[in-house]
Each structure stands twice: as C-alpha cells, then as structure tokens.
Structure 1
Amino acid sequence: MSALTTVPRPSARRRALLAAVVAGSLALTACTSAEPGPDSTPEASAGTLVEQHDLEGMDARQVIERLDTMPVPERPDDLWASVEPDQLVLSDPTGALEETSLPMPADEFYLSVAPYRTFTHDCVFHSLTTCLGELGGETVQVTVTDEATGQKVLDETRTTYDNGFVGLWLPRDLTGTLTLEHDGESTSSPISTGDDDLTCLTTMQVA
C-alpha cells in the first residue's frame, strides 16, 4: 500500500511561523517560487503529482534524495516540495492537482544546510525545487555533536549540491552542534531535530 496521503493543512503554529518569515523577508524569498505563468492552467494538467514527476513507489527519503541532488536547470517548475519535520508536502503551484504528502522516517530528521560567504536568505522548511544557496559544488567538512553525550553523530566530508545545500539525515530528537569547515574557515550553530524544528538552515557563514 502506498504511503501517499492527502495532506492536512499546516498547523496554526506552522502557518504563523511561515507568515512571519515571509512578512519579514520578502526580498529574500529564494525558497519560494514565482506565481505560475498564464500558460500554467489547470486544464493542462492530468494524473497525480507523483505520476507526473515519476515519483510513484518512492518514500519520502527517496523523493528528497532525488529532488535535492537534481541539477538546478532540471528541477521541475510545476512541483513544490516542502520538507517539514514530520512530512514531505508535494503541491502543484497551479492548484490543478491535489496536494499530497509522504510521512518522514520515524527515526530520522532531514536538515538541509546552505553555507554562505556573502549572501543568504531566510528559510524555515526546505523547498527541494526552489531553494537556492550561494555555494554549489563546494567541499565542506560536516560535524554534528550530540549535546547530551558529547559524541559525534556525523563527521564527513561532503560536497554541496547544485542548489548550494548539503542534506543531512540526523537522528530524530537530537540537540547538538553543527560545525562546517570550508576553505580553512569554520562556523558552528546549535541544531535540534524535533517536531517543531526547522528543516532549512541558511545562517552559517563560512568567510
């Protein structure tokens, strides 16, 4: 049986959080997409979102891996995919197709991080098809340390995706510190991976 379901509307807390970000940073909305053009009409759409974008049979982890690592020019402009702590929300910007969701893994949390040198943008829930960071294709050393135990839960050399992000699958309900090193510069940030936490981190400057 497919895990695909009809998505409930976002909670009041999440709606308020997103509204605050949008209201305070309209000039920095790299994680939002433009309104559909005049040719993007509901009559032009058929089937379901997963059928149109060849996502049938995939779980949330597989969809995230496909879309977040996709070269930017190949990313669909008729699909919005928002990573929330507990679900991956797929929607059609034209409104022609029904919004759907896939449940996130019960024991894992996806945090997408965009290190930057000179410019960044505000972000709460990572958009797999529209978020763009500054440093695509760059090598970074990523370390995540568990605050409770002092143990490293992640210590890897990674390459940022074409969209400038690096995606981290972390244990759920973790409180810790993320450290990024790039070209001899290092920056750290507290992180947490609970049901009320952000999935998009764009405040780590490596310069």
Structure 2
Amino acid sequence: MKKLLALALGVALGLAQAPSPEALKGLGPEETLALAKRWREEGQRVVSYVTPEAFFFEFPDGRKAQVALKDRFLLAVAPYVNRTHPCQVHYFSSCTGELQGEVLEVRVLEGEKEVIKTQVKTGKDGFFELWLPRNRRYTLEVRRGDLLATGPITTFRNSPTCLTTFRLRAP
C-alpha cells in the first residue's frame, strides 16, 4: 500500500517521468518547487531558477518552460557562518549554501507583528524556502543555537529570490 501511494504521489508531481516541460503541466507553485528540488537531487541536467514572477526551466534538449508564482513570492535563504556566495536569482539547479541539513529557528516579522515562527531544516543544497505575500517588507530572524542572523527582506517585483547574506553570529 505504501509503495502504491508513493508511486501515485510521484506521478502526481511529475516525478515518474523524465524531466520535460510536460512534467510541469498543471502543477502549482509548491509542486513545481518540489519537482525542481527533486531533479537537482537526482542529478538531472535541468537548469531551474526562480524570479519574483515565475519558475523557469531549461531542459537538455533546448526546450524551456515556466510556471507562474501567482500571488506569492518565493525566497530561498542560505544562512552561513563562514562562507557564502553573492546571489540575486535563486538557481535550484546550482546554488549551494554552507549549512546543509541544519535545523534552524525562523521568524518573519511585519513591523511588530509575527507572521511566521517555525523550525526549518536546510536542504542538501543548504537552503530553506519561505513563501510570502507579495509587495511587503519584513524582518527575517534566523537562529541556530546561540547564533543569530537578522535583517530586512522584501517581496517586490525587483526583490532578490536568493538570500545568501544572512551571517549567523553571536548576538
């Protein structure tokens, strides 16, 4: 039964077929994110990235596809302690952060109002993702043990989708 359910989920997410634009048809933003991450983990040669407006894919055969984000904004965050890289547009297919598989405490504030408080685990790529409403200004706090990173983030049309400047330090 578990195998059947896993297979059904894989087919629903387009995971059972080779990477192609057709695998993206009918997927929502969350499913598209899962598929982009899966293709990277499988070592598929698909270039995938996210802008404030959409996910973009470039396949080995030259075909291209995109999936609109609709009314939300996706921010990929890679906090670091020792090393980072400059980035504005998050490439699921190649961006790698320092802290892979780390558990972090995350808070997002809009003014004084807490809009997100959660625990996340960075992926094999060292990133975690936040889905946020568009056209807003926030403060992001990321904590790992006694280390803290905090700073402003935005979700406007010209905002970065890749955040690699959050250095975890002792407060």
TM-score, L = length of structure 2:
0.81
Within a 5 Å distance, the mapping from 1:26-175 to structure 2 comes to: 49-51=20-22, 54-68=23-37, 70=38, 73-76=41-44, 78-92=45-59, 94=60, 96-106=61-71, 108-147=72-111, 150-175=112-137
CA RMSD in angstroms, aligned pairs only: 2.0
The 2-side partners of 1:73 and 1:144 are apart by 28
In the alignment, structure 2 segments of 5+ residues that lack a partner are: 1-17
Contact 2:104 2:121 in 1 (8 A): yes
Contact 2:138 2:153 in 1 (8 A): yes
Q: What is residue 6 of structure 2 aligned with on the other side?
A: none
Find out whether 1:187 has 2:149 as its counterpart. yes
Contact 1:144 1:153 in 2 (8 A): yes
The alpha carbon displacement at 1:179 in A equals 0.5
Contact 1:48 1:97 in 2 (8 A): no
The alpha carbon displacement at 1:85 in A equals 0.3
2:48 aligned partner, one-letter code = A
**In structure 2, which of residues 121, 126, 140 is the aligned counterpart of residue 178 of structure 1?**
140
Task: List per-residue Cα deviations over 1:113-157 (Å, max 9, x = no partner).
Answer: 00111111111111111111111110101001003xx21111101
The 2-side partners of 1:153 and 1:131 are apart by 27
TM-score, L = length of structure 1:
0.68
The alpha carbon displacement at 1:71 in A equals 8.7
Bigger strand share: 2
Cα distance, 1:71–1:83 mapped onto 2, change above 3 Å: closer
The 1-side partners of 2:140 and 2:99 are apart by 18
The alpha carbon displacement at 1:49 in A equals 2.5
> Secondary structure of 2:91's partner?
coil
2:67 aligned partner, one-letter code = L
1:103 aligned partner, one-letter code = A
Contact 2:87 2:162 in 1 (8 A): yes
Cα distance, 1:50–1:143 mapped onto 2, change above 3 Å: same
2:77 aligned partner, one-letter code = V
Q: How many residues align?
A: 152
Cα distance, 1:190–1:74 mapped onto 2, change above 3 Å: same
Percent of paired sites with the same residue: 28
Task: List per-residue Cα deviations over 1:42-88 (Å, max 9, x = no partner).
Answer: xxxxx98224xx434322321113333x4965232x21111000111
